[in-house]
Amino acid sequence: MAKKTIRDLNVTGKTVLVRVDFNVPMKDGEVSDDNRIRQALPTINSLIEKNGKVVLFSHLGRIKEEADKEGKSLKPVAEKLSEHLGRPVKFVPYTRGTELETAIASMQVGDVLMFENTRFEDIDGKKESKNDPELGKYWASLGDVFVNDAFGTAHREHASNVGIARNIDEVAAGLLLEKEIKFIGGAVENPDRPFYAILGGAKVSDKIGVIENLLDKADKVLIGGGMSYTFMKAQGYEIGTSLVENDKLDLAKRLLEKGKDKLVLPVDFKLTKEFAEDAEYRLGRYDDFKPDEMGLDIGDETLKRYQDMLKEAKTVVWNGPVGVFEFEKYAQGTLGILETLASLKDTSTILGGGDSAAAAISLGYEDAITHISTGGGASLEYLEGKSLPGIDAVDDK
């Protein structure tokens, strides 16, 4: 069912509470990667243009005790946001109380305010992350309308998303959350075909539900990364010292049986004797591993095969790199797939957050992909076909 978005709201003169995902990397007290801030700008600017009063809040890191607050204030994030907006962003260093209430009450149309890290409320009983009813009700009382634009926490039932939504009259999706629903949700439920999925990363266990769901939904599921070796060992092949989950071999056999020709495994690899950036490698096929070798990337034949298949696709969803992309020598499989996806003109290309998104951005392909998700865990659960509490809490149109 279609969800209400900020396009459906009249926010003139209203205080709009906006849950953003500004859980950004920090280094020496400064934002080191502002991608998530930039992704939220369309929603924030739209609400400013609609004459709303914009109150922003987010979590940053995990907070279990008082000492964890060190370096986790959102003040540097507010300063970085101010640079992007070209206007002041008032920062209130509290998550509740008179100073926050007074600051919000004194806002004028077009003002932007950010309050402190929502996870600071977790020090005393995990009030935020366990959706304390009183906290959600209190935050809801600070505004007139709630906009959720934080896909990264949509798979969690927190006070700052579901808690507020239960205690306020109008709840809408921001433009970023709308994109996530459209692209990831749309790809799984109603893709243009052929629909191909690429699944990489280290472990089969991280993506059991995703593999099973996509074997039902996709036309082909291409496997890469560390999980390849568990599938290979399940077939009886020697994998040397490659990463493997021995306790998931029976599961891998079941998935291979379910997938049959739909589940596509690499046929060759870059094989090396040590896990190191400068380690020399040789190309070897799936039945040619030596006992002291490990695979760190897909080989040339596999890359060509995957590229040829992807050129036929109308929808591609990708989650997880196909090699150790942090090492230049072993990033070529991931880079080659990115180059192919970037060249496709009439294909919807969707990266499901996490390491595959990081790879696309770090390798310079951010603008060539149709959609790069901002949520790692949330995108995985969405690809599994699960309902996400943060999305369910948004009003239907």
Catalytic annotation, residues: 36, 203, 354, 377
What φ, ψ does residue 193 adopt, rounded to 5°? -110, 150
What is the β-pairing status of strands 145-148 and 112-115? unpaired
3-state DSSP call for residue 273? coil
**DSSP label at 201?**
S
Quote the CA–CA distance of 243 and 226 in Å, as a whole number: 6
DSSP per-residue letters across 286-333: TT---TT-EEEEE-HHHHHHHHHHHTT-SEEEEES-SS-TTSGGG-HH
Quote the CA–CA distance of 310 and 304 in Å, as a whole number: 10
Quote the CA–CA distance of 155 and 133 in Å, as a whole number: 18
* 30 bridge partner residues: 27
3-state DSSP call for residue 179? helix
What is the β-pairing status of strands 348-351 and 315-319? parallel
Sign of CA dihedral 21, 27, 31, 33: negative
Strands of 53-57's sheet in order across:
90-92, 112-115, 53-57, 15-19, 145-148, 171-173
Quote the CA–CA distance of 132 and 167 in Å, as a whole number: 12
Closest CA to 320 of 192, 164, 214: 214
Residue 231 zone, left/alpha/beta (φ > 0; ψ -120 to 50; rest): alpha
Contact partners, residue 345, CB within 8 Å, separation at least 6: none
